[in-house]
Amino acid sequence: MADGFEFPVDRTAVMLFARALLDIRPEFSDPDAAETKALGGIVVPPTFVQSSAHWQPDYGLDLTRPRKGPPPVRGGGGGGGGVGRGLHAEQHYEYHHPIHTGDTLTVTSRPGERWERQGRRGGKLLFSESITEYRNQDGVLCVTARSIGVQTERAVDQ
């Protein structure tokens, strides 16, 4: 995904994302609220950029998405987790510049480190890191995300 893809930040998408987090702050939905105006318009919850998955052409955790051509490799998620034995181990964000509704972000990802270690109960654990940058229509870097996924040999004990 070296060339990246476009992620338009739509007001309805931000409202739905905030609602899924049971968040009723006006800054995430109401352009007329004084709190929102103080921030120069609607902003987004801290983990909102995760919803760029909807626009990621090769996103692997939406296997019923209609598409031309063959489906992407199953489990190739941008979130770090995966289908089956894959799990999301860590997620880190750095916020450089505000994101507002109406922005069009360009999303680029690159693989980071890979390592393995022995799990306590789940056998060998394979970790892999992915780094994603979100730049707005002016080329300004808004968010850097670092996601770490882990593949286990056996189901995780509860």
Partner 1 sequence: MNLSVGDTHEAVVIEKVNRTHIVKYAGASGDFNPLHHDDPAAQSLGGYPSVFAHGMLSMGLTGRMLTDWLGAAALRKFGVRFTRQVWPGDTLTSKGEVTAVSEENGQKLATIKVVTVNQNGEAVVEGEAVAAIG
- Residues lying near partner 1 in the complex (CB under 8 A): 13, 16-17, 19-23, 25, 27-28, 35, 39, 43, 45-47, 50-54, 56, 59, 61-64, 77, 79, 81-85, 87-95, 98, 146, 154-156, 158
Report d(CA 127, CA 152) in Å as an integer: 9
Min dist. Cβ of residue 138 to partner 1 (A): 18
Min dist. Cβ of residue 20 to partner 1 (A): 4
Contact 147, 50 (CB under 8 A): no
Closest CA to 46 of 77, 24, 14: 14
Min dist. Cβ of residue 78 to partner 1 (A): 9
Closest to partner 1 by CB, 52 or 101: 52
Residues 6+ apart with CB under 8 A from 81: 61, 87, 88, 149
Report d(CA 126, CA 123) in Å as an integer: 10
Residue that is written with structure tokens 């972000």 in the block: 105
Classify 46 as helix, strand or coil.
coil
